[in-house]
Structure 1
Amino acid sequence: MSQRPDLVLVNPGGRERIYQQLGNELTAIEPPLWCRLIAGYAIDRGKSVVIVDSEAEGMGPASVAERVKALNPVLVGMVVFGHQPSASTQQMVAAGESCAAIKAVAPEIPIIIVGGHVSALPERTLAEEQVDFACKGEGPATVVQLLDWLELGAETDPTEVAGLVWRDGEDEIRVNMSAPLISDLDADLHGNVWHLLPMEKYRAHNWQCFGDLGARMPYASIYTSLGCPYKCSFCCINAPFDANRYRMRSPVQVVAEVDRLYRTYGVKTFKIIDEMFVLNDRHVTAICDGLIELGYSDELNFWAYARVDTVKPAMLAKLRKAGIRWLALGIESGSKHVRDGADKALKYEDIVGIVRDIQKAGICVIGNYIFGLPDDTVATMRETLDLAKELNCEFANFYSAMAYPGSGLYTQAVENGWALPDGWAGFSQHSYDCKPLPTEHCSAAQVLKFRDDAFHEYFADPRYLGMVAQRFGWDTRKHIEDMAEHRLARKIVEEMGAK
């Protein structure tokens, strides 16, 4: 693009800060969803857009700043959503550094920062970061309205820019009325701007391609719905949406996007970003039928999120036939008491039963577990690990409870004076600075040490490794054994051991 773009959207990197050495080869590098959605919305309204995916390109803050300076856009949008709701807060470190670097070399270019974390803490974000504006809400309408205001000369206060958070003078921060949620996802949030992205750079998680690790690239992530109707206390997904709203795309458009990515870029490995894909039977069935009708669904490898209480055994065969090879289940805790306290009322028998049904259908399961929920003790955390080992899912994610801004736990933590991380990097599950919530019975260091020990116990378990070798082959077993050799350095655990 030779002429000055209206808008440059930046996806902040910092993978090494978030994942330590795990970010080198094991983690996914995903196309930035909200950069795509905002870009498509802006282009449809006559704006010229460039996306700088600093994560995929391996660009540090200084390189991002030089690129922005060379492009000299009317506006920079720093898009801090991450690839899952909790990732927004942990990306604030890289986002803040990039904003500061841009201001150091091109102070005249205005910056708006957008994202789930930003929407949860808009005034604080504007006060703390070197940006000119922040956004409360999902972002597309706010960004385009701000561009219109800037292009008219910014001669009046931006009071009519919906969702804008701005400085009125030096001391006062004002928050405009939020923009209404966009209702027509197909027309307005299609995100069909793949040509603006470095498609050759994206790769899937290692586990999604167990048995064929060479299939991690090419890779793409798509969405079929936004938001979630549930209210789990530890989740911050609805922070940008101001409500528990659940909006769906047309299944026809979803299938068309998959076909376009398959035919244009050769993508066969996909993630469905939805916080809850397996939820609405009609929606899921229509997408599966459309994927099957493409005629090559046996070549596809999708993974998606589901809840134990929304997966129906009768739909599993169709999911597998459509190319859904992995389902991630939020099991969270092995203790019913702890699950109930986290607004996750599931029965033990239901959890075991649906995991077995999914596996019988030929779909792999990722079990997601959380240690350190408010009612947890060492004994209940052990119950969770024992359940994980009994279920013996093809992969497992172990998390420690975090009070992410925008979640119910964050509100509780602030109200009760619970200890929170010293900086945004401390909200990353895998960072050196990670600092989870303490419980009434366990310190933050004890929770984190239990989590890390649980990871290594699970992935070194002979029963698990035997299942992997049988299911995926000996090369995959060796890959997992090599993965489990990575021990994360943890500041608060080191301090606990030094005392």
Structure 2
Amino acid sequence: MDIVLINPGDRKQVYQNLGEDYAAIEPPFWIAVIGAYLRNNGFDVAVIDANAENISPQETAEKANRLQPLLSAVIVYGSQPSASTQNMTVAGRICKALKTNTSSKVAIGGLHPSALPKRTLEEEEVDFVIEGEGTFTLEHLLNILRSGSKDYSSIPGLWYFDNGAIRNNPRPSLIKDLDKMVPIAAWDLLPMERYRAHNWHCFDDINNRMPYGAIYTSLGCPYNCVFCCINAPFGKPGIRYRSPELVVAEIGLLTSKYGIKNIKIVDELFVFNEKHYMSIVDLIIRKGYNLNMWAYARIDTIKQEHFKKMKKAGINWLALGIESASVVVREGVNKRTRVKDIIKIIRMIQSEGIRVGANYIFGLPDDNLETMQETLDMAMGINSELANFYCAMAYPGSELYDIAIKEGWELPKEWYGYSQHSYETFPLPTKYISAREVLKFRDDAFHKYSSSPIYLNMIENKFGKMVKEHIQEMTKTRLKRKLLES
């Protein structure tokens, strides 16, 4: 075996008891894409999804050892800002187990390692850190390892030790031909029977959350929000596209071979380039697939005239980054949408039968208890089918992280402290209130929203009594927080 690609995860650590039934178990699309590209270029590839299989670092290493790979590569990608750093603790443990239990070289890559490559090489028990998208780097590295050479100086995007000194090579150019470099994923390498959609994604059919697929139609984001690290693997804001024909061919494979109906469009911003996303919508309608999809959009890029077609194609949910009700708070993080526009757009989306997942952040730099209450009041007034409440975190790779380091703000002691749902979570303080106050407000806000009679009545009217009871059961689980115990 040339390479084993490993998807790390520790659902108990990251989600506490919510990981058992409510959280999604998402297929690692980027790992499957890298696997497909390497396999297409003559390499023997295997994948271990330690997250989906829910196995320990030791068990992961033992599985890798049985395959005797030249290279074991732990890819800590994540498809949202919070999803990479929170998995670095278990990723580090897997790397350590690999070094102890296998004879292979060990590499680590993904969003967090790209944001902090030098620190990752210094702190983790690895031979290599991959900075950037990873595809070119792994291809070149495998060729060198096959040859028996120990000269890594020509491998783009690679960090490594040379006689004890840290060396790094410039990143490769960004992938231009996404159809070639981001081919149809190697789904056959994944344990497809283990993946599960978010509970809310399937409110229309709550007992059928499996099977589940997740695909990219584009890479990157053209915006530069202060709190977001999503562009860390790419080095700059920007967006590149797979062809609509390839995307729909992949959706067709997921439906025909794996019986998948529930699909997440992973793109940081799917509803942006009208020609791109509407071409995909039109092709899906033409194919007649029966889908239940969700995707990310922005209030200021979405167009009402497309809602009917999007719904017909099976886009049943749109996730919107609202962040805050306060103009001052939003402007402080480069989000300038007006509240009246937010409410107007949400009502238009809902009028066409598309559900809204509204995302809010408490604890942005200019927040105080009054502005956070203003945001919660707006959320409850909007009363969307889903409201995600986050605490502001200084994720490595974001401008907010750089500010936090410069200002000396206290950050989580362990990487899993960046998880929104973990016991050890440690959000940022604001200019006016403490991290403890932010976290307490967030947790109280979640329960106030989810147990509101207005919200629960709306849920029962739209989705039935079973979903209402499902939410009521979920809200019985109160997350334990170390910060709130002190």
Fold match, TM over 0.5?
A: yes
Match of 2:91 among 95, 118, 125: 95
Aligned to 1:458: 449
TM-score normalised to structure 1 length = 0.96
Deviation at 1:308, TM superposition (A): 0.7
Gaps of 5+ in 2: none
1:132 matched to 2:123: no
Instruction: For 1:338 and 1:13, locate their aligned partners in 2 and report how far apart those are by CA, in whole Å.
Output: 33
Aligned to 2:387: 396
Counterpart residue type for residue 135 of structure 2 = P
Aligned to 2:410: 419
Deviation at 1:491, TM superposition (A): 0.6
Aligned to 1:25: 21
Q: Secondary structure at the match of 2:479?
A: coil
Counterpart residue type for residue 215 of structure 2 = I
- Over residues 373-409 of structure 1, what are the superposed CA-to-partner deviations in whole Å (9 max), with x where a residue is unaligned? 0000000000110111011000111000000000010
Aligned to 1:72: 68
Aligned to 2:108: 113
Instruction: For 2:287 and 2:184, locate their aligned partners in 1 and report how far apart those are by CA, in whole Å.
Output: 21
1:13–1:60 CA contact under 8 A, matched in 2: no
Match of 1:292 among 271, 285, 288: 285
After the TM superposition, list the runs of 4 or more consecutive aligned residues in structure 1 that deviate by more than 6 angstroms.
none
1:160 matched to 2:154: yes
Deviation at 1:177, TM superposition (A): 0.9
Instruction: For 2:244 and 2:133, locate their aligned partners in 1 and report how far apart those are by CA, in whole Å.
Output: 22
Aligned to 1:183: 176
Match of 2:423 among 432, 442, 455: 432
Aligned to 2:271: 278
Instruction: For 2:149 and 2:10, locate their aligned partners in 1 and report how far apart those are by CA, in whole Å.
Output: 33
Q: Secondary structure at the match of 1:396?
A: strand
- 1:240-255 matches, cutoff 5 A: 240-255=233-248
2:182–2:242 CA contact under 8 A, matched in 1: no
2:265–2:295 CA contact under 8 A, matched in 1: yes
- Over residues 128-175 of structure 1, what are the superposed CA-to-partner deviations in whole Å (9 max), with x where a residue is unaligned? 0011000111111101111111111124x21100000011212x2111
Q: Secondary structure at the match of 1:359?
A: helix
1:30–1:83 CA contact under 8 A, matched in 2: no
Deviation at 1:84, TM superposition (A): 1.9
- 1:245-394 matches, cutoff 5 A: 245-296=238-289, 299-394=290-385
Deviation at 1:83, TM superposition (A): 3.3
1:324–1:363 CA contact under 8 A, matched in 2: yes
Q: Secondary structure at the match of 1:326?
A: strand
Deviation at 1:435, TM superposition (A): 0.3
Aligned to 2:141: 146
Instruction: For 2:325 and 2:473, locate their aligned partners in 1 and report how far apart those are by CA, in whole Å.
Output: 28
1:278–1:284 CA contact under 8 A, matched in 2: yes
Instruction: For 1:431 and 1:169, locate their aligned partners in 2 and report how far apart those are by CA, in whole Å.
Output: 39
Counterpart residue type for residue 425 of structure 1 = Y
1:93–1:425 CA contact under 8 A, matched in 2: yes
Instruction: For 1:373 and 1:84, locate their aligned partners in 2 and report how far apart those are by CA, in whole Å.
Output: 18
Q: How many residues align?
A: 486
1:224–1:272 CA contact under 8 A, matched in 2: yes
Instruction: For 1:105 and 1:219, locate their aligned partners in 2 and report how far apart those are by CA, in whole Å.
Output: 33
1:86–1:237 CA contact under 8 A, matched in 2: no
Gaps of 5+ in 1: none
Counterpart residue type for residue 164 of structure 1 = L
TM-score normalised to structure 2 length = 0.99
Instruction: For 2:64 and 2:180, locate their aligned partners in 1 and report how far apart those are by CA, in whole Å.
Output: 29
Deviation at 1:260, TM superposition (A): 1.0
